[in-house]
Amino acid sequence: MGRNQETHAEGGVRMTEQAQHDWFSPVGDSVLAAMRRRGVKADSLSQALQGGRDELRAILAGQTDIGDRTATILARILGGTAAFWTTRQKNFEEALGRSIDALNEKESEVWLGTIPIPTRRRLTKSNRKEELQRRLRYYGVSSLSGWQRRYVLDRTATRFRSSNSFTSDEGSLSLWLRSGELEAAMVDTKSWDAKRLSELLPEIRALSRFSNPSVFVPKLQSLLAKAGVAFVFVRAPNGCRASGASRMVAADKAMLLVSFRHRSDDQFWFTVFHEIGHLVLHGAEPFVDLDGGDADDRFEREANAFAEELVVPKKMQPELTGLPNRKKEIVSFARRVGVSPGLILGQMQFKGLAPFSRSSRLQRTWTWNDIEAAFES
């Protein structure tokens, strides 16, 4: 489980000295800033736009330009004038052009060969510049170093400065994180409040008893939103081993991103509890948790212990250690603890008290259709 130690300039959270001097700023950043300043919710702005939520998402992702019609709507709802928004778009396009011109050949090859975007196209000599533009637009950065600061996990690595090379796994992870950020921008929440999140933990853990994602996902989203946390799902792209991530996406808004990587209730809920642990215990630090990650990291041990105690309170953990590996006893214990039997069995498996078995009926497994339908409702 890897720790991501720096936030990005565009999110307005905690900037490194280098990030403070970045001059490149996508139009979507100004839209988000104006929405926060005026207290405009994503749903309200979406309803005013001709293309609804899809258009707002595309604006934030840099996948559509702000024309006269949209500029007029933004001016009416977010402030400024229509001319301000069209000029903002023009200035961004000029800055984007300068960014492309400043890329050296090695950087261009990394962008085009390693760092993906959602919609892939065949790369040709004639569309190379357009494809570079699409990537810088989507990630909202002006250079490869900006992308590295924002998305690459290994902050101590020197290979970027020496070779400008990254692995495809890092590229797929950055795509997952960026997609999560854009989904989080569409979720309306209260202001981030760690104390409130802690107060909501009993209600959150009780949701693990529901078997249908279409039932517990909206409830979980609503509870987390009360504490300023946008709960979002993005299916992990090929090469991405991430199960969950937590980070501040604005000064007053956190993101809890899940991939449902294993699609089982024990894995899902432990990931949720683990990421909540990071948010409660470790403040605004960004974290990305990967399969087979660094179990020796202090922050990961603390988040794991937090999640374990959410599943089974400390005073009942000795009883878990002596629990027979039989369905009746596991179900009875889970009922007394107040979580799903699958979570109890998952803890027993992790502690070596029960064998790993995909055939266990105590652990619920969902289809991708089940999961996607829950987030569309």
Mean pLDDT along residues 129-137: 94
Domain boundary among 102, 135, 151: 102
Has residue 39 been placed in a domain? yes
CB 199 within 8 A of CB 145: no
**Confidence tier at 124 by pLDDT (50, 70, 90):** confident
Has residue 143 been placed in a domain? no
What pLDDT, in 10s, does the model give residues 336-365? 999 999 999 999 999 999 988 755 789 999
One domain for residues 339 and 222:
yes
**Confidence tier at 14 by pLDDT (50, 70, 90):** very low
One domain for residues 343 and 218:
yes
One domain for residues 202 and 82:
no
pLDDT value of position 19: 34
One domain for residues 361 and 214:
yes
Mean pLDDT along residues 24-48: 92
- In the predicted model, what is the mean pLDDT of the chain? 87
Has residue 122 been placed in a domain? no
Domain boundary among 50, 75, 102: 102
pLDDT value of position 158: 28
Domain boundary among 52, 81, 102: 102
Does residue 192 carry a pLDDT above 80? yes
pLDDT value of position 151: 84
How far apart (Å, rounded) are the C-alpha atoms in residues 344 and 308? 10
Residues with Cβ within 8 Å of 36's Cβ and at least 6 positions away in sequence, in order, are: 250, 252
pLDDT value of position 164: 42
One domain for residues 230 and 94:
no
One domain for residues 89 and 203:
no
One domain for residues 240 and 365:
yes
Has residue 145 been placed in a domain? no
Does residue 292 carry a pLDDT above 80? no
**Confidence tier at 289 by pLDDT (50, 70, 90):** confident
One domain for residues 196 and 338:
yes
**Confidence tier at 37 by pLDDT (50, 70, 90):** very high
Has residue 128 been placed in a domain? no
pLDDT value of position 358: 56
Does residue 171 carry a pLDDT above 80? yes
One domain for residues 240 and 359:
yes
One domain for residues 213 and 312:
yes
Has residue 36 been placed in a domain? yes
pLDDT value of position 189: 96
What pLDDT, in 10s, does the model give residues 57-111? 999 999 999 999 999 999 999 999 999 999 999 999 999 999 999 999 999 999 9
Which residue range(s) make up the domain with 86? 22-102
Has residue 2 been placed in a domain? no
Mean pLDDT along residues 297-316: 93
One domain for residues 88 and 217:
no
One domain for residues 368 and 249:
yes
pLDDT value of position 21: 35
pLDDT value of position 2: 41
The CATH number of the domain holding residue 93 is 1.10.260.40
Has residue 197 been placed in a domain? yes
How many domains is the chain partitioned into structurally?
Answer: 2
